[in-house]
């Protein structure tokens, strides 16, 4: 089997540009939106900025690209702290993270080259990215009373959570069949709080309680 080609500096630069241009686009949409929609676009901008930062190698001494500096400033992100995170990683971990980010960008670019991306496909991709971020932890934690029974299975070691059953249980409860619609249902409960201060433990618990309290008192969510 041929060894996978090591990403080059050009690969990293091109991937970085794709990520920060997406972040710029989401920021623009956030500024023309309000409420949970604006907060969602801001979160998507953060996700893409984070992916752009992952394309920098641990040993780099170059300054962050000017567009990245502007995006970070608009989002209130400390790039000094982000650089420290990059430099604190082991060489092996840093290179794996960098390679995965470049691969992600390439796959996304290739997919768009093969087929035009419809609005619905974009909507689903955005929901997937959000639910794979810390936002997803809030959604899963806040809806535990919904999916716990359906996702609990008995094994030789005792009772365990089968993570593959969580999303289907949520689809069934909220009467949806895709991630984007599920996320919108959650937004009707938590509003823009769902996306606030994702590193804040207090906000994490607040959102969990909002969702949990709603599911305990209401058997449906109006769209």
Neighbouring residues of 101: CB distance < 8 A, sequence distance ≥ 6: 15, 19, 51, 54, 55
Closest among 186, 192, 195 to 223, alpha carbons compared = 186
- Check: CB of residue 178 under 8 Å from CB of residue 123: no
* H-only helix segments in 132-178: 134-142, 144-151, 166-174
Those residues of the chain that have pLDDT short of 70 are: 1-9, 109-117, 198-201, 215-223
131 vs 125: CA distance, rounded Å: 10
pLDDT digits (tens, 9 = 90+) for 138-155: 889 888 889 999 999 988
Please give the pLDDT value at position 220.
Answer: 47
Taking residue 22's Cβ as centre, other Cβ atoms within 10 Å add up to: 19
Question: In this predicted structure, what is the pLDDT of residue 161?
Answer: 93
For 104-132, the pLDDT digits (tens) are 888 776 555 545 567 888 899 999 999 99
Q: Give the pLDDT of residue 1.
A: 44
The residue to which tokens 């969510």 are assigned: 221
Taking each helix axis from N to C end, the angle separating 179-190 and 201-217, rounded to the nearest 10 degrees, works out to: 100
């Amino acid at each position: 089997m041929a060894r996978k080609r090591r990403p080059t500096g050009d690969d990293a630069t091109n991937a970085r540009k794709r990520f920060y241009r997406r972040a710029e686009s989401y920021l623009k949409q956030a500024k023309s939106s309000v409420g949970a929609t604006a907060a969602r676009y801001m979160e998507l901008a953060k996700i893409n900025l984070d992916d752009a930062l992952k394309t920098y190698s641990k040993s780099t001494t170059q300054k962050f690209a000017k567009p990245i500096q502007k995006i970070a400033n608009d989002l209130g992100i400390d790039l000094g702290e982000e650089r420290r995170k990059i430099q604190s990683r082991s060489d092996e971990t840093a290179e794996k993270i960098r390679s995965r980010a470049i691969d992600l960008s390439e796959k996304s670019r290739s997919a768009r080259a093969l087929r035009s991306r419809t609005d619905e496909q974009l909507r689903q991709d955005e929901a997937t990215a959000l639910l794979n971020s810390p936002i997803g932890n809030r959604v899963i934690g806040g809806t535990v009373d919904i999916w716990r029974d359906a996702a609990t299975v008995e094994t030789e070691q005792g009772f365990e959570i089968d993570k593959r059953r969580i999303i289907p249980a949520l689809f069934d409860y909220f009467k949806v069949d895709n991630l984007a619609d599920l996320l919108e249902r959650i937004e009707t409960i938590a509003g823009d709080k769902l996306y606030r201060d994702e590193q804040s433990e207090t906000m994490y618990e607040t959102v969990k309680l909002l969702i949990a309290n709603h599911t305990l008192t209401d058997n449906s969510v109006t769209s």
